[in-house]
A and B are shown apart, each in its own frame.
Chain A
């Protein structure tokens, strides 16, 4: 169990292929009770017992927050990834008992907004499935712009169009359709909040244009689940627990620490929430910081690291933990 997260014993109640890349998974509580309530944009961390290895991946809840009989997530298969999504696609079947974390929301709606403008890219649509359901239930004012590679890979595009009609606008890469972003951002009424979830390039593009066009930071929300990047293996010493461990090339520092029996705090496992921030005691080498949490100054100082996504190259590294 990790600080800030409590776990839920669930059973996979359904597995539904959505398209060539995406599969949807439904979870219910094993004791038959209702699941904890959540708000649109929340995610859960799914534990996968993959042989010797425990994988922990975060996925956005995409069902309606108004229905907590089950949780649903959608997983995009990544054939060249680290294996979590492949495990979900290949090994998770209805009836399997699994453990997931309580929901955590690092991408919540700002309900003071007069209007919610949502921009999704690819599988980045999942948090908006829950957010739009939440807003539709409350009569909220929203507009969703969704870019996908092809119509057949437009996950849930048909569902969204059916539910919300013209409040949903689709853009297909193969038809050279592109969001006229500057125009879109410049014509929103005062009091609009912007939400973006998708590939890093899309998030950066939207944030940069919004800032340049005078959108205050407070009105721009984004979520990016960065998978830990592979790299060279390295050794790390944990000063408090007195352990020296090896971090494999396909393993994150956080995963290696967990495998060594230490129980560090985490929430997002994507370098954005700050929960796993760790002090560096000493080092000889260079950090490969992949997080969006620490400031550039923190990165340069060599005093802190986010073990969920960041790595190290060099002779020695001693962390507090």
Chain B
């Protein structure tokens, strides 16, 4: 779980079964483990009204484990972008009582939360659990381009090429951390690049 530094930096919890009949899980890679562990604490029949949407990691692990929970629906997608239309459709047809559980990388949690916020769900009512890589989704504050899976500090903007300091300042609206030019005074100054978000 990520440490809290500045107030906008998201803080994650541990998934726990909520009351209600309809449960929507959105997870990537090792986020599946958070669901499996929560399932051990869930009441009988909990997954009868559950839908699991899963983006496996490159190793393709954990699919069988999630299927074995026998959710009412199981949907697998290669990327968040590919499941977005389905997710929007699900939320626009959903009724109050649907509970949301987000687990896995910060990029996945943040983007799923962003879609749910637009559908009117309060961010504090969503269950979240961080698992797996610390890689960040970063917005360049200069060109506004988003760079996915940033693991270094500083990081290079994949759009404008500026060298950016990846800040803990997080935007829920954009589901991204803010990256600010680290050598604006002297572009020749190149601080060492470290693997900060493995």
Q: Which of A's residues lie within 8 Å of B, judged by CB?
A: 112-114, 185-192, 194, 211-219
**Contact partners of B184 in chain A: CB under 8 A:** none
Other A-B contacts than A185-B96, A190-B119, 20 sampled, CB-CB below 8 A, are A112-B120, A114-B119, A114-B120, A186-B95, A187-B95, A189-B94, A189-B95, A190-B92, A190-B98, A191-B96, A191-B120, A212-B20, A214-B22, A214-B97, A214-B98, A216-B18, A216-B122, A218-B122, A218-B124, A219-B122
Q: Assess whether B121 is interfacial by the CB under 8 Å rule.
A: yes
Cβ contact within 8 Å between A113 and B120: yes
Q: Assess whether B83 is interfacial by the CB under 8 Å rule.
A: no
How far is B21's CA from A185's CA once the two chains are assembled, in angstroms? Answer: 13
Quick one: which of B15-40 are within 8 Å of A by CB? Answer: 18-22
When A112-B120, A216-B125, A217-B125 are in contact, do A190 and B19 touch as well, CB less than 8 Å?
A: no
19 contacts between A and B (CB under 8 A): A113-B120, A186-B95, A186-B97, A189-B96, A190-B91, A192-B120, A194-B96, A211-B19, A214-B18, A214-B21, A214-B97, A214-B98, A214-B99, A216-B99, A216-B121, A216-B122, A216-B125, A219-B122, A219-B125
When A212-B19, A214-B19 are in contact, do A219 and B96 touch as well, CB less than 8 Å?
A: yes
Question: Closest residue to A117 on the B side, CB-wise?
Answer: B96
- How many B residues touch A, CB cutoff 8 Å? 19
Give the distance to chain A from B110, nearest Cβ to Cβ, in Å.
18
**Contact partners of A112 in chain B: CB under 8 A:** 120, 122
Interface flags, B102-141, vs A, CB<8A=1, else 0: 0000000000000000011110110000000000000000
**Contact partners of B96 in chain A: CB under 8 A:** 185-186, 188-192, 194, 213-215, 219
Main secondary structure of the interface of B (DSSP, over half): loop
Number of A-B contacts defined by CB within 8 Å: 66
Q: Which of B's residues lie within 8 Å of A, judged by CB?
A: 18-22, 91-92, 94-99, 119-122, 124-125
Best-surrounded residue of A112, A185, A190 (most CB of chain B within 10 A) = A190
How far is B21's CA from A298's CA once the two chains are assembled, in angstroms? Answer: 33
**Contact partners of B97 in chain A: CB under 8 A:** 185-186, 213-215
**Contact partners of A212 in chain B: CB under 8 A:** 19-20
Contact of A190 among B18, B21, B94, B124 (CB under 8 A): B94
How far is B75's CA from A59's CA once the two chains are assembled, in angstroms? Answer: 52
How far is B122's CA from A194's CA once the two chains are assembled, in angstroms? Answer: 13
A-B CB proximity, top 5 nearest: A191-B120, A214-B20, A216-B125, A214-B97, A114-B120
Give the distance to chain B from A112, nearest Cβ to Cβ, in Å.
7
How far is B91's CA from A217's CA once the two chains are assembled, in angstroms? Answer: 19
Give the distance to chain B from A192, nearest Cβ to Cβ, in Å.
5
How far is B117's CA from A277's CA once the two chains are assembled, in angstroms? Answer: 35
Best-surrounded residue of A189, A212, A214 (most CB of chain B within 10 A) = A214
How far is B44's CA from A47's CA once the two chains are assembled, in angstroms? Answer: 55
**Contact partners of B124 in chain A: CB under 8 A:** 216, 218
Give the distance to chain B from A83, nearest Cβ to Cβ, in Å.
41
How far is B18's CA from A189's CA once the two chains are assembled, in angstroms? Answer: 19
How far is B21's CA from A211's CA once the two chains are assembled, in angstroms? Answer: 11
**Contact partners of A192 in chain B: CB under 8 A:** 96, 120
How far is B123's CA from A218's CA once the two chains are assembled, in angstroms? Answer: 9
Give the distance to chain A from B73, nearest Cβ to Cβ, in Å.
17
